[in-house]
């Protein structure tokens, strides 16, 4: 009997599903985390999240192969279509055959997961460089628009580097934000966020950076294709050097203000591709 598991979308919830499928001796036909409104003709069953069950599954996986546990954790953050099913198959194969097949990257069960995790790791690596912070009254704030849920991985890097700063990083795609104060950091859902317009000093540094960026290129070597290979355009929307003029106009200057207390609205349209092309569709 084919059945779809409905769970709460958390990692623990997913592991509880794995536990349940073994307890009920059945193989799920799919997973439904409730967000994408999956409609299916199969029966569905709601699996309650049980931290005890989740811990048991994770303990077993870790005992068989610590690498597989990392793969599950990271794989769960990726934008792989039907990631739960892929991760379920990987777990099942691991429990059935042992960890030997993990050495073979061309394995059909392993390959999609490894590739998705590689995509996640690649995105994290690029974003370590491409994130741009703005100083807003002593607090640093930045926005990103990634395909994968990078914040849990990326957060570690910025928390280490800016350990004595207060900062936040907003993920537009997944509508969540990382908040950091010295010694503590959390990731919380955040429905909407608009960057406030810059003050005098912030606008100045943005302009200095833009000038540096424009000057450092050698005209005789211009190569837009190479630039796009290294830095795909979907990252440009949140990077200072590609913003329109409004981005560099300080709050107090007469030209750029719509109302003194108006909460932002001004800086957001500075983003060249405004309706965020990469956000909704996620996967290519």
Partner 1 sequence: MDVLEKLTILTDAAKYDAACTSSGGSRTAKAGMIGNTSTSTAGCCHTFSADGRCVTLLKVLLTNRCIYDCKYCVNRRSNETRRAAFTPEELADLTISFYRRNYIEGLFLSSGVFRSPDYTTELMIRALSLLRETHRFNGYIHAKAIPGTSPELVERLGFLADRLSVNIELPSEAGLKTLAPDKTKGAILAPMRQIQTRNRQSREELVKFRHAPRFAPAGQSTQLIVGATRDTDFRILRLTQGLYDRYGLKRVFYSAYVPVVEHALLPARDVKPPLLREHRLYQADWLLRFYGFRAEELLDEGNQDFDPRVDPKCSWALAHLDAFPVEVNTAAYETLLRIPGVGLTSARRILSARRVGPLHIDNLRRLGVVMKRAQYFLTASGKMAEGLRFTPDSVLRGLVAAERPLLPRQEGVQLSLFDPPGTA
CB of 97 to partner 1, least distance (A): 11
Closest approach of partner 1 to the CB of residue 202, in Å: 9
**Residue whose pair of structure tokens reads 């200072």 in the numeric block:** 240
Let me know the angle formed at the C-alpha of 30 by 24 and 32, rounded to the nearest 5 degrees. 100
- Shortest reach from residue 82's CB to partner 1, in Å: 19
Q: How far apart are CA 206 and CA 41, in angstroms?
A: 53
Give me the 148-167 binding string for partner 1, x by CB under 8 A, dash otherwise: ---------xx-xxxxxx--
Q: Does 133 bind partner 1 (CB under 8 A)?
A: yes
By CB under 8 A, is residue 64 in contact with partner 1? no
Residue 20: φ, ψ to 5°: -60, -40
Please write down the long-range contacts of 47-50, taking CB distance under 8 Å and 24 or more positions apart: 47/5, 47/6, 47/7, 47/13, 47/16, 47/17, 47/20, 48/16, 49/7, 49/8, 49/10, 49/12, 49/13, 49/16, 50/12, 50/16, 50/19
* Residues in the chain, overall count: 284
Write down the least CB distance from residue 247 to partner 1, Å. 13
Q: Interface mask (CB under 8 A) for partner 1, residues 221-260, using x and -?
A: xxxxxxx-xxx-------xxx-------------------
Closest separation in Å from C-beta 205 to partner 1: 5
**How far apart are alpha carbons 15 and 60 in whole angstroms?**
11
Closer CB to partner 1, residue 47 or residue 124?
124
Candidates 3-11, 121-129, 171-179, 251-259; binding stretch for partner 1 (CB under 8 A)? 121-129
The verdict on 179 binding partner 1 (CB under 8 A) reads: no
Coil/strand/helix, residue 17: helix
Site residues (vs partner 1, CB under 8 A):
100-101, 103-107, 111, 125-126, 128-135, 140, 142, 157-158, 160-165, 205, 207-209, 211-227, 229-231, 239-241
């Amino acid at each position: 009997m084919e059945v779809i598991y409905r769970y709460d979308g958390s990692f623990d919830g997913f592991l509880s599903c794995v536990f349940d499928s073994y307890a009920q001796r059945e193989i799920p036909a799919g997973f439904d985390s409730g967000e994408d409104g999956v409609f299916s003709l199969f029966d569905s069953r709601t699996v309650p999240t049980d931290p005890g069950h989740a811990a048991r599954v994770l303990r077993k996986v870790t005992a068989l192969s610590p690498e597989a546990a990392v793969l599950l954790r990271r794989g769960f953050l990726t934008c792989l279509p039907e990631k739960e099913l892929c991760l379920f198959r990987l777990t099942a194969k691991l429990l059935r055959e042992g960890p030997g097949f993990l050495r073979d990257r061309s394995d059909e069960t392993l390959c999609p997961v490894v590739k998705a995790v590689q995509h996640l790791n690649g995105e994290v690596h690029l974003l370590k460089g491409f994130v741009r912070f703005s100083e807003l009254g002593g607090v640093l704030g930045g926005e990103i628009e990634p395909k994968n849920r990078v914040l849990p991985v990326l957060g570690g890097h910025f928390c280490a580097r800016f350990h004595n700063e207060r900062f936040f990083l907003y993920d537009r795609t997944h509508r969540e934000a990382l908040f950091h104060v010295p010694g503590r950091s959390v990731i919380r859902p955040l429905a909407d966020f608009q960057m406030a317009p810059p003050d005098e000093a912030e606008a100045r540094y943005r302009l200095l950076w833009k000038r540096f960026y424009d000057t450092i290129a050698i005209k005789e070597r211009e190569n837009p294709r190479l630039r796009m290979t290294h830095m795909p355009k979907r990252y440009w929307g949140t990077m200072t050097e590609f913003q329109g003029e409004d981005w560099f106009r300080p709050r107090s200057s007469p030209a750029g203000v719509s109302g003194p207390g108006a909460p932002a609205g001004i800086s957001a349209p500075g983003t060249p591709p405004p309706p965020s092309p990469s956000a909704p569709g996620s996967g290519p």
